[in-house]
Structure 1
């Protein structure tokens, strides 16, 4: 099945539906739309000022669970954008979502709606715009989403790419890249025979957990069955870039070649070695070089660490979330505070202000 907004292979979406993140439930509803439910901390994407103010409120520890309602999400955690069937008009899908889920769940969130994304065609962007407007007319509240990083592959080679960055950044990144000479880099395909070995699967999953546990936001913890299926699936055109030092795997990066792009999805690191060898930076430039070698048009680098990715030369495209709050009092409060959930947009605006 082909969805509007799709930037990743069907097999990855099917894997999510079969093996959702731990403590999540996932399904594809009658409209053909993938979705899931989970306990959701309302402060997850709030700015630091709001978080501090809420935590200081009287008896916060006693009522904090009220800020973690069971929530229905229209979308997935493995796709860059919400995915919609191409066989249902935007107004009908918006009505369906509200009728089916707004009374069953305290919160209904249509997540990661693109805003004229350069990674999508005009028809797809127009559909996203239409459904956003339709949801707003039905009482959904508009909340700014995150910044999706991407890089057009319009450079001749890595030296050409680096030449577009400032002198200080070029110097810094060239210094970091020198450590690549001490690493062995291999490109494996998902479905490689090595992933039939349970010890190998366990090792790769643990390196993923290492990254998850040190992340600032803990939301979707992938299960071991999801990860095993991901690594063993031969049909996704997925690649794993592995980084080893003295015969020991210290990091990897899982990407997909899809629709003439390289989509970066998952990383696993061994600490402290990954930091000592600057694997985050080395893998960034290796991915760009691979995408260039393959003749791809773009590298899609994900949602996290926008400041770091901006320093690495990434461009950004933003999303919106459309949120329906069942309780009318809470709905009124959220409508007043919606601008407190725009940290990536505020970061981008501050950067633009400094550059102007």
Structure 2
């Protein structure tokens, strides 16, 4: 893995450490030729084919007579060439294309828990998605053609009402750039921007996860509901007569408050919840199991010879003794933890790395292989 103190061409020859200190969450960074001589990873036709698939998240955005329209995928028909001001957005391209997945890996100086996906925006001349802001950090890499970006650190983030997109009602830019293939622009959260295609163009967006605390809180409470243990049932043997039968009694409220106050959660609870939450596949993600899977014994022989790698759709994290993969979690021994942490960090293991794996770990690898979460190295 890249060390944080090593300069990266991708970041304009500054180190990730300097980038986090000076730019991350703070201010934009324009990087000319972040990836020199960059060429699109997918052709226009390949991108359109992806947009038509049921398991791919896509959107078609058009602007006509001062009105924005958005159609969610699958997108089977693209506007005629003569129609202007339209944009096709294809999300999670890294889940479906090896080259896109390798490109996303270049941004793993940011932890996997925060790195989200690679989205490709294809636009005809004049196309864009309007002036807006994102709630997360984003890198905008120009892949084909040119795009003019106007950006501004405005405080007024009010939106136009009645639009299917979050379009800023009062956009004010203070900087403007034209990006060529290989150029990249970093923007922190809530930084207003508007990108317009100059001729036909493709832009790759590398986005990051930034769930709201409300979303996390609701998900955590749902997670904890499966482990709450409050034995007994409400009773009131000393119940007295009342002249106000519709009033909730103080005794009932007090008893319930005392019982709910018994609910406790630990750091371990939060760790397991977060690991499962962050690795849970998105609803449109489907894994491809091998057509003719090897038997467990033959799989182990092949794995020890070739090694294994995670499917590009698999998300794997760890913390302490806990391993998380695709929304599931389990605790492991120290010996297996080293092997599994290496797999999570490097996305692959050589055959020699598996020599110290326990039978339980090898059984888990085989099950993941059968489910399409893990593959044998070619």
TM-score normalised according to structure 2 size: 0.22
Higher RCO, Cα 8 Å, sep 6+: 1
TM-score normalised according to structure 1 size: 0.23
Rg larger in structure: 2
More helix by share: 1
